[in-house]
Chain A
């Protein structure tokens, strides 16, 4: 935030009453215009006051913000459409190859756009997105140009050959990849194919320097950004604030012949066999569950991966591999369904990265109830058969 600088001499001169032998100042007169409007803290407080409480309580977050004109003016500015940026004559191109699983940009892909904008905006360059299929969200993500790659199905070698042709012909200054399974594989294929210098897993990036960990994370390597880069996850903030045009670009890719890959077939995960660290949805039992047969049937019916708290594993009722928590497995799951688990701090550490938590527990004040998105204060032993019955009724017709 920048404020106009206060100039006391100017202010004094504004109060000067003209005429008369001696200089006279009328300090009560309001100065003409200072650019900054006055805040009225008392009025703001009156608005923030929560009515109907015995003790005086202020709630500054929930209500319409303050009275002052400045504060009213700011949201209007923010709500305006994002600034549209058109780069007609780019000085150079920064290309990026997002993973875009299922045609949608992942969080890592958006961070990649942030990094590409950082490199491009430093010298008037443009960001070129090399994607499999066209997408609506590329302009808002920060792409100035979009080039569709002629790839169908899983064929990384053909994709690398197409990228190599584009790299040679389009004079790309940098090509950025996400350091994910697919993006990292593609980046290394392209690096081996083109012989260009490659910087794997950059952890910080600026137009002048990139850094990465090397030699078992004991050494940090640093250099100017080379032509091929792969970016570690959660290193750079995604791009926001301006809308770019995402103009389609034409490019004649060379014909590729079939590679050594004879067939590729996707096998969805089997939740019953997948390890806890990789599981997407975990159904977990704690000390509040005594009927483990019903629990296993419920896990199978919900299509989840079975987990357990330390209590059950110590008692030998569930295998040690199923233990969730600090001394068991730290989950990366999207959903966690806790049955009869109070939520010891060590258990909550294992659940910390789960997006959605559902808890069933008899104790209203349990930590797991507080953590859950849907919390049910009830006996898990009674809820489990009810769930099974309901699933059975739904499956029957």
Chain B
């Protein structure tokens, strides 16, 4: 099984220095586990792909279990989609993994979808676990939904899958892996720069909605919505018998729908 992993030029969440994107390292772990268990006779291979001017600290991915990293060198403002499409088509990969949204560009998370469209492959979002499907040539994907729920999807390969942060943690970094891994640099064919029609300014955080009252509500309603939720203002039982307390708690939990009704 040949697996490709798209790596983007991330930045560290706190320091802002160039660093691999955590969710892409999680995708690497999923890919490495899948290649190991479902390699077949030939054994699976995982190839990392990065399109950009510099490879930088993305070589760290080699230490996290990646064997081979391909760097498609291109100017920073160029559109990475044509070069990546060409490389992915030439590689003949069964499975292409990407993070939920790449960094370094506009952070829209659109690139996996345009690549899937260009390659004519199905795409599935938010994978938290991958396993080989029951039939040959299929893949079972556990999609992360809210509140810990999952959806198990079976898709026919080849396919493109994006990975959710709920996936297992990345493999630990090993310096020997970094020494062992190979980085291959290819010059990407020149492409037209991506059309740029947005105005850019330094980021300014916008106030979020706090009160849950609707826009047409009166000031009193808005004040109520902002203050009532924070203060409990609920029921208080002082020194009840344990049985009475238990009955109250269960009735309250049932009324809220937190436990199944009797």
A189 to B220, CA, bound (A): 43
Please judge, given known A-B contacts A216-B16, A334-B258, A383-B242, whether A263 and B153 are in contact too, CB under 8 Å: yes
Bound Cα distance A280, B212 (Å):
21
Which B84-137 residues sit within 8 Å CB-CB of chain A? 103-110, 112-114, 116-117, 121-126, 133
Give A327-378 interface residues, CB cut-off 8 Å to B: 334-335, 337, 355-358, 360, 364, 369-378
- Nearest neighbor of A160 in chain B, beta-carbon distance: B113
Is B142 an interface residue, CB under 8 A from the partner? yes
Query: B162: shortest Cβ distance to chain A, in Å?
Result: 9
Given contacts A223-B199, A280-B147, A371-B232, contact A235 B249 (CB under 8 A): no
Q: Is the CB of A383 within 8 A of B236?
A: no
A185 touches B126 (CB 8 A): yes
Contact of A335 among B166, B229, B253 (CB under 8 A): B253
* CB pair B237 A376 closer than 8 Å: yes
Report if A213 contacts B (CB, 8 A).
yes
Say whether B258 contacts A184, CB under 8 Å.
no
Q: How far is the CB of B183 from chain A (nearest CB, A)?
A: 24
Given A219-B201, A378-B240: A262 in contact with B250 (beta carbons within 8 A): no
Task: Pick the residue among A111, A211, A261 that contacts B155 (CB under 8 A).
Answer: A261
Q: Mark B128-152, 1 if CB is under 8 A from A, else 0.
A: 0000010000100010111111111
Flag whether A274 is at the interface (Cβ < 8 A): yes
Chain A residues with Cβ below 8 Å from B133 are 262
Within 8 Å of chain B (Cβ to Cβ): is A220?
Answer: yes
Q: Are A372 and B232 in contact (CB under 8 A)?
A: yes
The answer to whether A181 touches B153 (Cβ under 8 A) is no
Q: Which of B36-44, B61-69, B173-181, B203-211 forms contacts with chain A?
A: B203-211
**Which of A8-16, A143-151, A197-205, A307-315 sits within the interface?**
A197-205
Residue A217, interface by CB 8 Å:
yes
- B8: shortest Cβ distance to chain A, in Å? 11
Q: How far is the CB of A188 from chain B (nearest CB, A)?
A: 4
Given contacts A78-B218, A191-B110, contact A357 B232 (CB under 8 A): yes
Closest B residue, CB atoms, query A369? B236
A387-B250 contact in complex given A238-B214, A376-B245, C-beta closer than 8 Å: yes
A215 CB to closest chain B CB, in angstroms? 7
User: Do A278 and B110 have beta carbons less than 8 Å apart?
Assistant: no
Bound-state CA distance A374–B138 (Å) is: 50
Known interface pairs A264-B152, A274-B148, A278-B148. Does A237 touch B249 (Cβ–Cβ under 8 Å)?
no
A242-279 interface (Cβ within 8 A of B): 242, 259-271, 274-275, 278-279
Distance of A111 Cα from B145 Cα, bound (Å): 21
Q: Which of B110, B202, B232 counts the most A-chain CB atoms under 10 A from its CB?
A: B232
If A375-B235, A376-B248, A387-B250 touch, does A262 touch B200 (CB 8 Å cutoff)? no
* CB of B86 to closest CB in A, whole Å: 17
Cross-chain contact A220 with B204 (CB below 8 angstroms): yes
Instruction: Check: B189 CB closer than 8 A to any chain A CB.
Output: no
Q: Is the CB of B113 within 8 A of A216?
A: no
Asked whether B216 is an interface residue with its Cβ less than 8 Å from the other chain, the reply is yes
Q: Is A114 an interface residue (CB 8 A)?
A: yes
Cα separation A181 to B144 with both chains bound (whole Å)? 9
What B residues does A335 contact at CB under 8 A?
253, 256, 258
- The answer to whether B155 touches A374, judged by C-beta atoms less than 8 angstroms apart, is no
Interface residue B243 (Cβ < 8 Å from any Cβ of A)? yes
Residues of B within 8 A of A260 (CB): 121-122, 155-156, 159
Least CB separation from A180: chain B residue: B146
Given contacts A364-B238, A383-B242, contact A303 B260 (CB under 8 A): yes
- Which stretch from A27-35, A48-56, A388-396 is at the chain B interface? A388-396
Tell me which residues across on chain A come within 8 A of B218, comparing CB atoms: 78
Question: A241 to B216, Cβ gap below 8 A?
Answer: yes
For residue B233, which residues in chain A have a CB less than 8 angstroms away from its CB?
A: 373
Question: Contacts A191-B110, A383-B242 given: A237-B214 contact, CB under 8 Å?
Answer: yes
Scoring A residues 137 to 181 as 1 if CB is less than 8 Å from chain B, else 0, what string do you get?
000000000000000001011000000000000000000000001
The reply to whether the CB of A300 lies closer than 8 angstroms to some CB of chain B is no
What residues of A have a CB within 8 angstroms of the CB of B142 in the complex?
267
Chain B residues near A382: list those with CB within 8 A. 242
B125–A181 CB distance below 8 A: yes
Q: Assuming A264-B154, A370-B232, what are 20 further A-B pairs, CB within 8 angstroms? A: A154-B153, A188-B110, A204-B206, A219-B203, A221-B198, A223-B199, A240-B215, A259-B122, A260-B156, A262-B155, A269-B150, A278-B147, A358-B252, A373-B235, A375-B236, A376-B249, A377-B238, A377-B239, A379-B242, A383-B242
Q: Which residues of B contact A (CB under 8 A)?
A: 10-11, 16, 103-110, 112-114, 116-117, 121-126, 133, 138, 142, 144-156, 159, 166, 197-204, 206, 208-209, 212, 214-218, 220, 229, 231-240, 242-243, 245-250, 252-253, 256, 258-260, 262
In the A-B complex, list the 8 residue pairs whose CB atoms are closest, starting with the nearest.
Answer: A241-B216, A240-B214, A274-B148, A269-B148, A260-B122, A373-B234, A240-B216, A386-B242
